[in-house]
A and B are shown apart, each in its own frame.
Chain A
Amino acid sequence: MRKRQPASHPLSSMRERVPDLQAQDAPAEQRSWPRRGERQGWRESGRERACGQREMSRQVRALSPNPSPASGRGETRLSLAALLLVLTLIPFAANATDAAVITRQGNGKGAAPCMACHGVDGGGMAINGYPRLAGLDAAYLQKQLDDFANGSRANPVMQPNASALSEDERAALAKYYSALPLPAHPAAARPDAGGERLATHGDWSRGLPACTQCHAPGGVGVGANFPPLAGQPAAYIAAQLRAWQQGARHNDPLQLMRHVAQQLTPQEIDAVAGWFAAQPLPAKGSAP
């Protein structure tokens, strides 16, 4: 009897790309996926080439015998039975709600391992503009995953990944990352003074409040709706401001960010993003 080979497995093409469990201990530079040279900065614009995840996701979807989005009740029951069976047969399939496993391996259903972009410690990857997730509010994180899945936050990398996660998995991941300790934050370059002024004073002649009026002094964030900006990659913050300006991101309550972002010049966006990127993360143990 022929042994089950990875090559014959329907998920094998994905497996090649997904780091093995051991990879979690390997330094980021040695991990095979995603490949550094190929990775694009975090962009909310659909014009940018998506990195490996989207390609992977497309391959995975192509395996589906039923490309139609709708799945009836009967099909769901069948799929559930299939799911149970497959879970018993596939040794590397992740437990559906084991967030830690998903962050390292993906969920085996098309969602890539989060740590590939957001880091082993959830600290993000500043050079590519991938945001820190560790220590963010769980409800905020879950809303963002839900919004990627429903399209109110557009992003070529995150949309397919969030969509491939079940609601339970999204909730579990949000909880997992919110509970991670804040990672060490390397000192950033000295930001320009214009950014500080806008961040801490706003420009009320244009109806612009200080960013810190809602994101808290120092940009440490408040509750489920005003995420921390302190220490997030400048490229990430700037990309979000542009996404609001251009409408690619429109999941802000009361249209607060759309309204604010529309008034900013490109220079102001970069300046204010640079200032927040350089702010220290709140001290460990303090309640952000």
Chain B
Amino acid sequence: MMSSKLTAEYVRSLIERGKRLDGRKLDEFREIKINYGVSEKAEGSAEVMIGNTRVVAGVKMDIGEPYPDMPNKGVLVTSAEFLAMAAPEFEPGLPGENAIELARVVDRGVRESGAIDLEKLCLVEGEKVWVVFLDIFVLNHDGNLIDAAGIAAIAALLNAKLPKITEDYEIVRDELTDPLPIKDIPIPITIRKYGEHLLLDTTALEEDVLTGKFTVTTKINGNICAMQLSDGMSMTKDEVLQAARMARDAATKIREKLFKDKLKELKKA
């Protein structure tokens, strides 16, 4: 618990009146900023800031074996870590259940949306494919980590280029070639609630005061490709559907704002 009872009461009473501590509306996002290419050694990378929340994602590519049941498809491996520097309550060590959950929710969004054209990452069917390592690190935790991580993930993937390979499938690390084939822009949006009020883009303080979260990841066409309700929140069926619509609309706005050019290109294709 980082908040006093008094602060918690105040945050709740504001929400009941449709207001928030930082003056935003309940469904209003903080400003989102993306820095591309934070690491030149990575095949692709991006840092995403939502307010004070700061998440960095990097892509490394290797050549490996495909899964036996998908011999003609590349492989995606997603991991996430909440760095100890990101918040006083975070401890060093192996990723805990929250970091594992975040990685798996982001992974499902990317995978199920078909964002990466995995078939184009096949080099020799059944033998050699590209393996995409997507690693996500939380640098500063001021709430809404899943959304920040999801945006950082797709930004890093959009920033990624395939390294050059020789005839014997050796990777030439310092020569990048074509961009990673990307077909969609999945955006996860996490909803929290107090009473019947639904909130988007919560701060760490708000998350401390509220219980539970519901993440809905949508594709460019508005379809849902991943969902996760957790942390001890329960919702009625109507609330779930309302939240899903909110998530779809918020994702559409974010996509148009942050990924305008790619969106235009994908919609044309």
State whether these chains interact.
Answer: no
